[in-house]
Amino acid sequence: AAFGHVPEAIAAFSEAVGRDPKSAPIRLNFAVALAAGGRPDLGRRQAEEAQKLDPGYARAKQFLASLRK
């Protein structure tokens, strides 16, 4: 998401998670949008959920590692 559109991205991914809660990629995109919007704790939770849904999802693991820096 472009930084100027973070609130819209958060709203869109929140809605998408509601429609498809078992989608790891949607949850990860929601996580990235939340972190970009200044809500890294909520983003971390979504990324952790993405990793639970798909334990081999490398992008979720990478994103979580980037939050720890």
pLDDT score recorded for residue 45: 97
pLDDT score recorded for residue 3: 58
* Alpha carbons 61 and 50: distance in angstroms, whole number: 9
> Which residues of the chain register pLDDT less than 50?
1-2
DSSP symbol at 25? H
